[in-house]
Amino acid sequence: MYRLAMPRQPRLFALAWPLFVELLLGIAVGIVGTALAGHLSDAAGAAFALANNVLGMLFILFRIVGAGVGVVLTQNLGAGRRAAADAVACAVLGASTWIGGLAALLALLGAAPLLRLLNAPAGVLPLALPLLQLLAPALLLDAWNASMAGVMRAHLRARDTLAVMVAMHGTHLLLAPLLMLGLGSWGGLGLPGYALALVAARLLALVLHRALWRRRLGLVPRAADWWRLRRTELAAVAHIGLPGAAENIAYRLAAMVSVAVAGSLGTRALATQAYTQQVISVGLLFGLATGLSAETVVGHLIGAGRLHQAHRVVRRALARGLAVSVVMAGTAALAGPWVLRIFTTDARIVAAGSVLLWWTVLLEPGRTFNLVVINALRAAGDARYPVLAGAASMLVVLAGGSWLLGSHLGLGLVGVWIAYAADEWLRGLLMWRRWATLAWVPQARASRRRLARG
């Protein structure tokens, strides 16, 4: 007998707060890693940021299944089709092996050209190259962990997933300072120590996720499930995931241009961007947690045919997200001059980063529109519109604007931040118009009919 207890009406807050804490822990690890790298040198801090940008770019490959698995699972669970949901969960596990393995190989073998693509300065490349290669195995481990955590959240087991993340990030935070900075007479490993700590923590999370699948969900994957590609189940996932991956690819390509612009401005500018992004990453967490939770709730409601309730959930989630994002961005801007000194003692970096944080107060509400509404559209089965409407903005406004304002017109990082804000607001308002005019309803009804046919 399964131990899953599925509530009739999934509650947004019950899902959002564990996810918020989970994301906060992940950001804390990134902030600590950036601070430790900055303690070594500003060049090491820039190298840390570049390596993580490449990892984020490669992890987009996982979005092919990652963006679809939660939607397909929640719709099936909402419709009471547990066996179909279990089949999808096992299918995604196998797909994660192939996608995560491919991403890991690209990071290992293509580290140098990928870093040069981002205009890695001469003093940064020798530090970033070995770090990225040592981080490569984490891409495979992250693909497995993300799949298994996504299945747990779809089953409304957010607290169990949080427990795994606490153990994983706690282990990383304990090991990283020791391995990076050393102890006593041992000087540590520097940046490679961060990578080794990360891989060890991900291995622990994989063990814990396997145990939770068995105990909480009654799911025990067979050996073949870890590598077999099941076409029928993955087709439904890809129907949602491919547009989601395309959207992420467009964003990452545009973001790479902004990073390349910062890289062309020198090591100090690249370090400024890296430190500022770590500070603002805390501010976007509530919006991200709300958006992902809204996706889960809306997916269940669409599967159950409760479209009116789904509409109300999204409106409430967006209102809360906008209010909190403005407050958190304003707080970060006010505290910026002190918080940035955690990462660096360079007064010019602190001054430049403080200016960027005030621009973030404008940027964050626009980003909240995207985080909440795009996930809701995807959960309703309306996955193609965000790609078609957003790709042009990402490539023209974000990428083109970063180059035009930051490099060609000489505004530097301020120009890049203006491009970020303009892109987020344009896409966010387009997505809200789609939702508010109920243009997603035909896709939601089509999803419901597909579930009814089995």
**pLDDT, mean of residues 279-299:** 84
Q: Does residue 3 carry a pLDDT above 50?
A: no
Per-residue confidence (pLDDT) for residue 4, from 0 to 100: 40
Residue that has been written with the tokens 């706690």 in this structure = 170
Cα–Cα nearest to 303, from 71, 95, 133: 71
The DSSP 8-state label assigned to residue 226 in this structure reads G
pLDDT digits (tens, 9 = 90+) for 68-97: 788 889 888 888 889 999 999 999 999 999
CB 80 within 8 Å of CB 157: no
Q: Does residue 315 carry a pLDDT above 80?
A: yes
pLDDT digits (tens, 9 = 90+) for 226-264: 999 888 888 888 888 788 778 878 887 888 888 888 888
Nearest-10 crossing angle of helices 441-453, 285-303: 50
pLDDT digits (tens, 9 = 90+) for 159-213: 999 999 999 999 999 999 999 998 878 888 999 999 999 999 999 999 999 999 9
Res. 117 pLDDT band, cuts 50 70 90:
confident
CB 179 within 8 Å of CB 189: yes
Mean pLDDT over all residues of the chain?
Answer: 88
pLDDT digits (tens, 9 = 90+) for 352-378: 999 999 999 999 999 998 889 999 998
Task: State phi, psi for 119 to the nearest 5 degrees.
Answer: 60, 45
Cα–Cα nearest to 156, from 8, 336, 375, 306: 8
Per-residue confidence (pLDDT) for residue 264, from 0 to 100: 83
Q: Please, what's the largest Cα pairwise distance for the chain?
A: 68
Per-residue confidence (pLDDT) for residue 9, from 0 to 100: 59
Per-residue confidence (pLDDT) for residue 166, from 0 to 100: 94
Q: Is 159 left (phi over 0), alpha (psi -120 to 50) or beta?
A: alpha
Per-residue confidence (pLDDT) for residue 121, from 0 to 100: 84
Integer angstrom CA distances of residue 313 from 109, 318, 319, 346: 45, 9, 10, 45
Per-residue confidence (pLDDT) for residue 436, from 0 to 100: 94
CB 215 within 8 Å of CB 164: no
Percent of the chain at pLDDT > 90 equals 47
Res. 5 pLDDT band, cuts 50 70 90:
very low
Can you give the length of the chain in residues?
454
CB 349 within 8 Å of CB 275: yes
The residues pairing with 183 across neighbouring beta strands, listed in sequence order, are 186
Task: State phi, psi for 409 to the nearest 5 degrees.
Answer: -90, -5
**Poorest-pLDDT segment among 1-5, 284-288, 378-382, 440-444:** 1-5
CA atoms of 439 and 423, how far apart (whole Å):
22
State the first-to-last Cα distance of the chain, in angstroms, to the nearest integer: 23
Per-residue confidence (pLDDT) for residue 237, from 0 to 100: 86
CA atoms of 422 and 407, how far apart (whole Å):
17
Q: Does residue 7 carry a pLDDT above 70?
A: no
Per-residue confidence (pLDDT) for residue 454, from 0 to 100: 61
The pTM assigned to this predicted structure is: 0.78
Q: Does residue 18 carry a pLDDT above 50?
A: yes
CA torsion, points 226, 292, 440, 250, in degrees to nearest 10? -70
Instruction: Give the angle 453-74-143 at the CA atoms, nearest 5°.
Output: 120
Alpha helices in 218-306 (DSSP H): 231-264, 267-283, 285-303
User: Residue 308 class from Cβ within 10 Å (0-12 exposed, 13-18 middle, 19+ buried)?
Assistant: exposed
Nearest-10 crossing angle of helices 42-58, 267-283: 60
Instruction: Give the angle 137-65-235 at the CA atoms, nearest 5°.
Output: 140
Q: Does residue 103 carry a pLDDT above 50?
A: yes
Cα–Cα nearest to 343, from 414, 413, 272: 272
Give domain limits for the chain. 13-453
